Chain A
């Protein structure tokens, strides 16, 4: 943009051009400097997790430099990955997240299709309502839900509290509204001609959805899937409230309730567990960063 002004300015302004490009060079240097500072701020906790997870308990309680590993060991990883309790947490987390992703997609994709394309009585109000439900936080609902599940058990004898599958009921309330909302945005951006052509060719609504909308909106679908998975994997309040016995708990709650025994913190194992718990979202993020960011920004910029 400066070059444009320079071209017009002619030779008389040569000195000025030099100062501007010098300014820009300095601005660039300052940008890198501050970005480096912020990157250090951002990466310190995860790096410190990694550092601590490689230490033995003797080194953790020794008065040496905490930022360095003098005697690296994989003992914490071996211990956790062979502990049936920890594997149980991991398994519970994995099964809950995967099933919740499936439920979320089965509910939100058809709903988003209907709301984006098949106008019916109240569809606009419903779309707005879906968005509003996304704004209702978990911390407003956990107490009534807790009481509801207890009453449900009194009435029907079906135990929901302290069972991992109760999470399959409550997690979709966090994932479905947002996924529906961003899928409405993606579906609405598909040109009308496409599905009209399909309808003329005699495709049913279901075929239009599976043969046209889902393939065309695949990036949105991937973004929504990633969102649903990370939300289910990271959720902490609901499992803390609804599950108490260790064989029913998911990873975040399990680490906090079993590795912290009273006032005794086994930091090596806690950090290892936290790192292993952070690994699945981080790995997904590392490979699918663009989809991840698309999902993040789509909620506010689309629709």
Chain B
């Protein structure tokens, strides 16, 4: 502690003067140690995250055989393809619909859990979080089997209600519905748990004050709960938007993009084009289209986090 305080004092006294003292060395030593401690992290991020991100920009400008520079040729090619616009459309529908429903269901369920006596909350929360815990690839397999065209458990159940066999994954609009449904199933518990944590942090006095003022339950939610949870709702939604937009597992396993490329989203189409079709530059170009939405979401998240930092 002594080191730190004196170190700071000397800095405030004369920042410009370069004095060779043992104190300065100690401070220097400290920052060297700190740098060495973060070095593995920096190397990991630089080599395996930042470099590939930049490298994919470079890859996107190459020809299929990766020998020739084609500039924006890959993008021109993409813009002319109908499938590409289908993928853009489906990615947006998929991400936005799924996130809205996840947020809504999460909000509603969190309220129900919050409503019941504290003793039972743990049990219900435990059950409701199970979809989030199971690896998505594994649970999507269960959904694939539930949706199975000939032995579908859903269609068996619906047949009692005289609802004909539903082509869950066979028809474009149903397949789109199904991939979104599975995404909601996996993601809603995350919202539920975040909202529940936020609900618990809203002081009871605010509700008491609202109740004294004669607010009904809707007004309590609108004027007390929502404003208090605004920050957490924003961050959770943006987080989920990124994850959902970049989703791969669900669509890949359920439909692999079919029928007729109708359910492809950016990640699955990039995989199909880049890895299965071994056109790496084109695949890289496709996945780059995820970047703008991620950047926008990241800016908003960062702003919220900085705001919270200032409040604290």
A248 contacts the other chain (Cβ, under 8 Å)? no
Establish whether residues B2 and A200, one from each chain, have CB atoms under 8 Å apart when the complex forms. Answer: yes
B226 within 8 A of partner (CB): no
Q: Mark B289-311, 1 if CB is under 8 A from A, else 0.
A: 01100100110011001000000
Q: Does any Cβ of A come within 8 Å of B45's Cβ?
A: yes
Any B CB within 8 A of the CB of A70: no
Q: Which residue of B lies closest to A8 (CB)?
A: B212
Provide the A99-127 mask, 1 if CB < 8 A to any CB of B, else 0.
00000001110110111001111010010
| Chain B residues whose C-beta falls within 8 Å of the C-beta of A1 in the assembled complex | 204, 207-208, 211
Q: A56 an interface residue at 8 Å Cβ cutoff? A: no
Let me know if A230 is at the binding interface, CB within 8 A: yes
Measured between beta carbons, the chain B residues less than 8 angstroms from A141 are 48-49, 52-53, 56
A282 and B270 form a contact (CB under 8 A): no
Q: Does residue A156 face the partner (Cβ distance < 8 Å to B)?
A: no
The residues in B between 115 and 152 inclusive whose CB is less than 8 angstroms from any CB of A are: 115-116, 122, 124-139, 141-143, 145-146, 148, 151
Q: At the interface, yes or no: A58 with Cβ under 8 Å from chain B?
A: no
Question: Closest CB of chain B to A23's CB: distance in Å?
Answer: 9
Residue numbers in A under 8 Å from B260 (CB-CB): none
Decide yes or no: A139 and B287 within 8 Å by CB, A256-B253, A278-B138 being known contacts. Answer: yes
User: Which residues of chain B are near A236, meaning CB under 8 Å?
Assistant: 135-137, 248-249, 252
Whether the Cβ atoms of A137 and B246 lie closer than 8 Å is yes
CA distance A292 to B33 in the complex (A): 32
Asked if A27 contacts B135 (CB within 8 A), the reply is no
The answer on a CB contact under 8 Å between A241 and B271 is yes
When the two chains form the complex, which single residue of B41, B134, B151, B246 contacts A107, counting CB atoms closer than 8 Å? B41
> Which residue from B42, B109, B204 sits with its C-beta under 8 Å from A38?
B109
- In A1-35, which residues have CB < 8 Å from any B CB? 1-2, 4-5, 27-28, 31-32, 34-35
A45:B53 contact, CB within 8 angstroms: no
Bound-complex Cα distance A142 to B284 (A): 9
* Contact between chains at B37 and A114 (CB < 8 Å): yes
For B146, the chain A residues whose CB sits under 8 A away are 44-45, 48
Contact B145 A270 (CB under 8 A): yes
- Check A35/B59 contact, CB under 8 A, given A45-B185, A143-B275, A274-B141: no
Query: How many Å lie between the Cα of A60 and that of B129 in the bound state?
Result: 29
Known A144-B59, A237-B267, A296-B193; contact A129-B45, beta-carbon cutoff 8 A: yes
Question: In the bound complex, how far is the Cα of B33 from the Cα of A126, in angstroms?
Answer: 16
A61 to B193, CA, bound (A): 39
Residue numbers in B under 8 Å from A289 (CB-CB): 122, 126, 129
Taking CB atoms, residues of chain A closer than 8 Å to B53 are 136, 140-141, 144
- Cα–Cα distance between A35 and B105 once the two chains are bound (Å): 11
Shortest Cβ gap from B263 to chain A (Å): 15
Interface membership of A172, Cβ < 8 A: yes
| In the complex, per-residue mask of B225-249: 1 if CB is within 8 Å of any chain A CB, else 0 | 0000000100110010011011111
CA distance A41 to B59 in the complex (A): 43
Q: Are A120 and B31 in contact (CB under 8 A)?
A: yes
Cross-chain contact of A120 among B35, B153, B193, B283 (Cβ < 8 A): B35
- Which of A31, A46, A172, A200 touches B139 (beta carbons < 8 Å)? A46
Cβ-defined contact, B40 with A111, below 8 A: yes
- Among A42, A52, A129, A281, max chain B CB count under 10 A is at A42
Which chain A residues border B48 with CB–CB below 8 Å?
Answer: 141, 145, 169-170, 172-173
- A172 and B197 CA atoms in complex are apart in Å by 28
Within 8 A of A (CB), among B184-226: 185, 189-190, 193-194, 197, 204, 207-208, 211-212
B1 touches A199 (CB 8 A): yes
A78 within 8 A of B: no
B156 within 8 A of A: yes
Q: Is B21 an interface residue (CB 8 A)?
A: no
Q: Write the chain B residue with the least CB distance to A40.
A: B127
Q: Does B257 contact A (CB under 8 A)?
A: no
Q: CA separation between A5 and B213, bound complex, in Å?
A: 10
B50 to chain A, nearest CB (A): 8
Contacts of A285 in B (CB 8 A): 129-130, 133
CB-based contact A121/B55 at 8 Å = no
Residue B179 lies at the interface, judged by CB distance under 8 Å to chain A? no
In B270-286, which residues have CB < 8 Å from any A CB? Answer: 270-271, 274-275, 280, 283-284
Check: A247 CB closer than 8 A to any chain B CB: no
Q: Check if B128 sits within 8 Å of A256, measured CB to CB.
A: no
Whether the pair A35, B287 counts as a contact (CB closer than 8 A) is: no
**Residues of A near any B CB (own CB < 8 A):** 1-2, 4-5, 27-28, 31-32, 34-35, 38-39, 41-46, 48-49, 52, 60-61, 65-67, 106-108, 110-111, 113-115, 118-121, 123, 126, 128-133, 135-148, 169-170, 172-173, 176-177, 180, 196, 199-200, 205, 230, 233-234, 236-237, 240-241, 252-253, 255-256, 265, 267, 270-271, 274-275, 277-278, 281-282, 285, 289, 292-293, 296-297, 300-301, 303
* Contact sample, A vs B, 26 pairs, CB 8 Å cutoff: A39-B127, A42-B189, A43-B127, A114-B37, A118-B30, A118-B34, A119-B34, A128-B302, A129-B45, A132-B302, A133-B45, A135-B301, A136-B49, A137-B267, A137-B290, A138-B246, A140-B56, A141-B53, A141-B56, A143-B270, A170-B48, A200-B2, A205-B33, A271-B145, A289-B126, A300-B235
Q: Which 3 A-B pairs have the closest CB atoms?
A: A137-B246, A234-B135, A139-B267
